[in-house]
Amino acid sequence: MNQYRIVGINENYPDTGRVYVKIQTTGTSTIFERPVSELYQKEWLDQFSHADAAQLAALYAAENTDNLNLVKRIPSYNPALKDSVIIVGILFSAFLILSNLAAFKLAAIGSFIFPAGLIFFPITYIFDDILTEVYGFKVSRRIIWSALFANLIVLLGAWITTYLQSAPDWHEQAAYAAIYRATPRIFIASTIAYFFGEFSNSIILAKLKVWMSGRYLWLRALASTSIGVGVDTILFTHIAFLFIVPYSAIWEIILTMYCVKVIYEACAIPITYKVANYLKRKDNVDHYDVNTKFNPFSLAL
């Protein structure tokens, strides 16, 4: 992995006539500025990726030919533009939708009762951890909202189809409607729980990364997930099953779901490490939310 990466450009170059580049020391939250004329030296260029070195060359050429108006046309650092973000985001959305479609079925292992969606939902926290760890809270925030809208489309569409006239030879309308007409309640429950749970997880993980200088991902992932899934599980179970199952069973479901989700996360930590480290190397990104405003309602990048 390269020792340094470009994370931005000082916007004062039109006034000063010089281009200053914001540099991050790989694996740390340390960010500093250097003039492009200094960075465009072999001892510095060797410390950057080929893409960053090419950007430095373009910036150096723009400054030395008095064409600073070209600087804004040079592709800049934007982790949301990485193709890996799209892939992880699609997987995140798929498992969220899958978990909600399966959520109304109550399954049992011995005396433990749980929604079948529990099999899939913890995976969304793994993807959320990877997105936040590698690309930062703002990218994770946008994926969370995108998955929410995708989930709305699927569940609303499924609910609408229950009111279509059935074909004469199809006799499963009652069973079909019994499941999908329950989706409004499941959607409300999952939306509220998902919103508070996922954002709690992402915000806590992002802040812990800065506080711990990027170390102890296993501890940060466990801590953020323990809080996020706790909030999610309590909210979802109460909204989805209150007055449907006995209240004592609700807390049994909560306890079972919570323990399984946390154990799930703990078992997945080696995978989280491998995928996060691979994406950091592949995309030359390791974002630290040093000055981030953790507003869950913004979509700005």
Q: What is the CATH number of the domain that holds 236?
A: 1.10.1760
**How many domains does one find in the chain?**
2
Based on the domain organization, do 260 and 122 belong to the same domain? Answer: yes
Give the model's pLDDT for residue 110.
82
What pLDDT score was predicted for residue 278?
94
- 46 and 168 share one domain: no
| Single residue among 17, 40, 73 that ends a domain in this structure | 73
Q: Based on the domain organization, do 196 and 255 belong to the same domain?
A: yes
Are 46 and 156 contained in the same domain? no
Q: Do 41 and 93 share a domain, yes or no? A: no
Q: Is residue 84 domain-shared with residue 170, that is, in the same domain?
A: yes
The verdict on 87 and 224 lying in the same domain is yes
State the DSSP string of 250-283: HHHHHHHHHHHHHHHHHHHHHHHHHHHHHHHHHH
pLDDT tens digits for 72-122? 888 766 666 788 999 999 999 999 999 888 877 878 888 777 778 888 989
Residue 291 within a domain: no
Q: Are residues 144 and 83 in the same domain?
A: yes
Give the predicted TM-score (pTM) of the model: 0.85
Residue 250 lies in a domain: yes
Are 107 and 134 members of one domain?
yes
Structural domain span for residue 223: 79-283
Residues 36 and 130 in one domain: no
**Of 73, 92, 115, which one is at a domain's C-terminal end?**
73
Task: For 172-231, write each residue's pLDDT tens digit.
Answer: 999 888 888 876 777 788 889 999 999 999 999 999 999 998 999 999 999 999 999 999
pLDDT at 126: 95
Backbone angles phi and psi of 23, in degrees to 5: -120, 135
Task: Taking residues 45-72, report their average pLDDT.
Answer: 90
Q: Which two tokens stand for residue 281?
A: 């190397």
Residue at 277 is within a domain: yes
293 within some domain: no
CA–CA dist 243, 127 (Å, integer): 33
Whether residues 138 and 11 fall in one domain:
no
Cα(268)–Cα(174) distance, integer angstroms: 39
Domain check: are 101 and 200 in the same one? yes
